[in-house]
Amino acid sequence: MRAPFPGGGGTENLDWYPILSSLGIDVPENPRRHGPCPICGGKDRFRFDNRNEEGTWYCNQGGSEHRSGKTAGNGAALVAEFFDIGYRAALEKIRGISREPSGVQTLREKCASSVPPVDLSSQRKIQRLIKDSVRLDDIAPGSRIILQAGKVAVEKYLVSRGLPLLFPAESRILVQPDGYDLIIPLTCDRNDILSLHVTALTRDGRKRPLPWTGGSCRYTLGALTRSYSSISGAEEQISVSSFPGVRFYAIGEGLETVLSGRSLSGWSSIFAVNANGIRTFLDDPETVKTFRSSGAGLAILVDMDKSETGQKASVVLARKAKEARIPVLFLLPPHLIKGGEKGTDWNDAVVELGKEGARAALMIAISRSEETFSKIEIGKALPIDRIRDSDGPIPSPVERVSLEEATGEVRKLILDHWKIAKPSLGAIDAGVGKSRVLADLSWDHQIEGAPLLTISPTRALAEEASVKGGGLFREGRTDDPERAGFCPVFPEVVPFSEKWRSVVAHKCHDCPNGKAAMDILKGSAETPNPDVQSCAHILHIQNAKISSVVTSTAAMLEGDPGLPFWKSGDVTFSRRITLDDTAELNDHRRIHGGHVSEWIRAANHAIRHDQAKIAFGETDDGTESRKERIEATEALIPHLEVLAHLLSENPGEEQIRLAPEDWKDFSRLAQSSKIRWMDGISAEAIYRDREGTLEIPLRTLKSLGEALDRGTAWVRKSVLHFASPTKAFKAIQNRALVLDATPSLAVRQIVEALGGNVTEIRVQQPSLVVRQVASGSHGKTACLPDSPSFEREKSRFLSVVNNAVEKYGAENIAVLSHKSFVGAVSEEIPGGVEVGWWGCHNRGLNDWETKTHIVVWGIQQLSPSVAEREYMADRQAVIEAGGTAWPEWNGARGEKWYGIPGQAKEIHATGYQDEFIDIWGRERTTAEVVQAVGRLRAVRRPGEALTVEIHSTFPFAEVFGLEIHELIRPNWRTMSDYQAERKTGQIEKGIIAFHATGGGGRRLANEWLKEHGLEGIKPASWPELKEIASGSRHEYSLFASGTTPDLFGKDVRLLIEALDRLAVYAAEEGMMLTELAKVGLVDPDPLEWVALEVLRVSVREGDPRSRGVGQEGGREVRSLSHTRCTRGVGGTG
């Protein structure tokens, strides 16, 4: 390539465009087009025709606006006019920027060549300003008053921008007639001052616009390439959990941005002056080497310019850092700030949000750095490829047996368990029929007289099991007159969620129906009163006590203390309990201050009640002393008042664990038998809260006492959360049999700690295909109706569902997602599609056994506070069962590579840094997905094609027999892919532009590309492109912008290929080619752009011919979207 300056005294044969651009002189690239004059400021009368490559120009505005009166000249004259200097000085300035190296460079010259060439005239000005100015740090109380006033003005300026009194070490101040100049010296890696950054201020610390800069208060002097300024870090700095131990350097464009970043993070900071400084920061190999050797990271404080200059430069730097394996943070300012006319930056965040608000925004940006960078569309950032090939061996397939073999193993497992005195666990796939096998064996076992109890998750399953096994279904209160739980005197049933149970306030001792039933049970009934009906529920409870085989629900197990026992005459035995998918170890509950106030009210009422009874001579209540009960209740009330105060004093997000040693007395009193009045006259007494909207079983107080004693109680946002052990947990400790497709890590460890057996039975599912589509997390927050991303999530979700309906039929499809999300989009889901949500329909509350396709959109995961409570409660259960104590909770999270079950691939995702906690969390989430897959009952449907399509990037654990059969990657591109595609696109673009302009050269080619909205060709790329284009056989007709040629040259192969690609994109979006032409493509290549223009011009909207375009054989083609069309991603063509 021609050198930009030949080294002689003339100005001919120069490449003027980069020379003038480096001097800050903007000229039109098109020699035939007028533009603004860089000298006089005229808007459209300047032309740079560059004849004979001498940089010639002329301006029609008039000579009065030009210093020398000249309206035309060569390149040196333009430089002289622009800088108001002489012709000879202009030549020196040009030589300072452009020079031609000759001969072979020595090692010293090679090192020196990494430093940009020095402009001697600028250096003289820099030296003069340095000499005339004073270092800010040198201005002391004894300095001249005018200097002290200048320092005060600078401080006022910083305070107005919410910034600390902090500068680069060599910052200086220069006194001016109308104010002060704040000067920041910029140095290279040799610490030579290459340039200055100057901010003009008034005497009272406001910005002082400079007329010769176009109204800006800032300007730079000298070469900016590879020149920076830095600010040392603070002693206390923000640590980044995803990069433990890494010390970060913040880098930003503006001085205010850098100072803001330093103030918020404490990191050492680098002032890069402009977008080019950001873009080229890692171009120096020594800089990269320094970062790599020190292990330091780079935090990019991104400027959100409306022109997108700052974002693009930051993206380039982030890519370079990733390629160099330097830890990098991509920190976007919060979207909620307004900023200025040109955009927003981190200083705007400090000004608008305050320091604390901005620091919170910075922490959010740090946590979302990787996600933010991956979501920015092409042109702003490259999506990050989160999937890679695994270095380890290919995972072995899960060992599976036939359904017949599995049924036999389940039968043997149950029979063997009844012979031992230890708990047993069977991890068995859903659909094997373990409930049926258990029911059959229960029926047979009645002959031996062993009392059995089977607990099922729902009433329907428990009632079904009782019919199959010949036992009695123990049910609770109900408002159905046909059922045993109905009470004609108190028919109302309060509908609680299942963990609270459905209860009704009964007073059986005062009820004539209850009294009649109890008289019958006691054998003391005289002649029955025909007008009084005996209470069916009391008789039902008695029948359950004497029945040898009973089935019931987990909720009833918690509510009826006598359910695990069998009564034969006057002797009571423990039943053998089987927990069928109901092995919950902890009951998690929550109460607020209003509930505690109700307890206090109830306690005072009970005291008054007992005092009244004592006054009438009733000193005892059965075997209980009323006086002792009053004393215990009076002792409890102060503790309740302390608890209410604690809740009101902790409204924040922080979760506080209540230490057992601080609540010993509360726990003892709450669990004491002296306060049995708290359960009311019957075990099912309840009280309403102040609003009358919720009814609280008072036995919860005893559960709270138990939770406080074991250290599983927390306060967060004025709500008390606690976890008490379930009856199921106590049943496991008492040798229960657990049958579950997805037993938790805690259950497995508890059974092993108690000496029990763990058996895993996985069954062949030849017709099932589990497909993971790594299209995003689709988390609950992103899918909330008020989330900014809701419309995007809805659009993509409905597109997936509609495609599935076309492929499988609506009647064969079920969708599973977050409850709030499916509730918001349910009306737009095609009719016939079953809709379900996490926590309900994935656990069996559906009739999806006839479906063939399940679409899972997003995975249910625990929030950090809930995860802590669940983990610590499981940990306590393991300890109580004699197992090894788990690590204490640590919620720190970071990004890792995880193996994908059944695939020789790895996925990059966020997880807990503690390996054990991470396994616990991933297994818990994986269990929910496996339960959802089990709804298809694939083990019993070997001849049907069944698919489960999971849209999530969650790293599933390799447990519970889960295998991902197909992994679908979205249209992500790695950096090498991008570079290859970029080069291919450049070649295609060069061929088109070369032939369209008749081989007229790069200038004309770039002019043509610019007219068509395409990026120009860089000088370094032109020779190769010209050689390829010249040797090609393709010829193209030259046509003006906005028109379409009749023929696309002699060879139309490339155009046909482009049209073929468009047809594929249109089919994938479910539209015709004419519709695609209207909405356009994101980042079309040049051939695609021309093909779109052909469609737009040659096919009118409504033209009958258009109906044949985008169809195959008269049938419209539809398939899954690849999001190239702008309709799918919100881009522009």
The answer to the question of residue 679 being in a domain is: yes
Q: Which residue has the higher pLDDT, 355 or 661?
A: 661
Question: Residue 814 maps to which CATH number?
Answer: 3.40.50
Final residue before a domain boundary, out of 224, 258, 284:
224
Residues 803, 855, single domain; the answer is: yes
User: Is the predicted pLDDT of residue 679 greater than 60, yes or no?
Assistant: no
Cβ atoms 122, 104 nearer than 8 A: no
The answer to the question of residue 6 being in a domain is: no
The tally of domains found in the chain comes to: 7
Banded model confidence at residue 915, pLDDT cuts 50, 70, 90: very high
Final residue before a domain boundary, out of 173, 193, 224:
224
Which of the listed ranges 27-31, 147-151, 372-376 does the model predict with the highest average pLDDT? 147-151
d(CA 502, CA 495): 5
Residues 91, 127, single domain; the answer is: no
pLDDT of residue 951: 92
Position 34, amino acid: H
pLDDT of residue 750: 93
Question: Residue 316 maps to which CATH number?
Answer: 3.40.1360.10
Both tokens assigned to 374: 């991956």
Both tokens assigned to 946: 């069944």
The answer to the question of residue 90 being in a domain is: yes
List the single range of 281-290, 648-657, 744-753, 971-980 with lowest mean pLDDT: 971-980
Both tokens assigned to 882: 């004699």
Residues 626, 714, single domain; the answer is: yes
d(CA 1126, CA 1133): 7
Residues 1026, 952, single domain; the answer is: no
Residues 350, 308, single domain; the answer is: yes
User: Is the predicted pLDDT of residue 368 greater than 60, yes or no?
Assistant: yes
Q: Which residue has the higher pLDDT, 1091 or 584?
A: 584
C-alpha 753 chain-centroid distance: 37
Query: Mean pLDDT over residues 815-835, rounded?
Result: 91
Look at the chain and count its residues: 1133
d(CA 837, CA 706): 33
Banded model confidence at residue 1100, pLDDT cuts 50, 70, 90: very low
- How far CA 539 is from CA of 469, 486, 664, 1086, in Å, comes to 21, 12, 40, 84
- From 168, 155, 249, select the one nearest 205 (Cα to Cα): 155
The answer to the question of residue 605 being in a domain is: yes
pLDDT of residue 385: 57
Strand 218-222, strand 193-201: pairing:
antiparallel
pLDDT of residue 675: 58
pTM of the model: 0.56
Residues 924, 778, single domain; the answer is: yes
Residues 646, 702, single domain; the answer is: yes
Number of H helices and number of E strands within the chain? 35, 43
The answer to the question of residue 1060 being in a domain is: yes
The Cβ-side half-sphere exposure at 802, using a 13 Å CA radius, reads: 15
- How many other CB atoms are found less than 10 A from the CB of residue 864? 12
Segment 154-179, tens digit of pLDDT: 888 888 888 877 878 788 888 888 88
Q: Which residue has the higher pLDDT, 1067 or 1005?
A: 1005
Residues 493, 550, single domain; the answer is: yes
Residues 569, 611, single domain; the answer is: no
Sort residue 718 into left (φ over 0), alpha (ψ -120 to 50) or beta: left
pLDDT of residue 274: 83
The answer to the question of residue 631 being in a domain is: yes
Residues 486, 554, single domain; the answer is: yes
Position 519, amino acid: D
- Residue bearing tokens 């290459």: 194
The answer to the question of residue 347 being in a domain is: yes
Percent of the chain with pLDDT over 90: 15
The answer to the question of residue 1062 being in a domain is: yes
What range defines the domain where residue 813 resides? Answer: 764-968
Cβ atoms 381, 343 nearer than 8 A: no
Residues 928, 819, single domain; the answer is: yes
Query: Mean pLDDT over residues 431-437, rounded?
Result: 83
Cβ atoms 1081, 1088 nearer than 8 A: yes
Cβ atoms 559, 476 nearer than 8 A: yes
Segment 792-818, tens digit of pLDDT: 788 889 988 988 998 899 999 999 999
User: Is the predicted pLDDT of residue 1057 greater than 80, yes or no?
Assistant: no
Residues 1087, 985, single domain; the answer is: yes
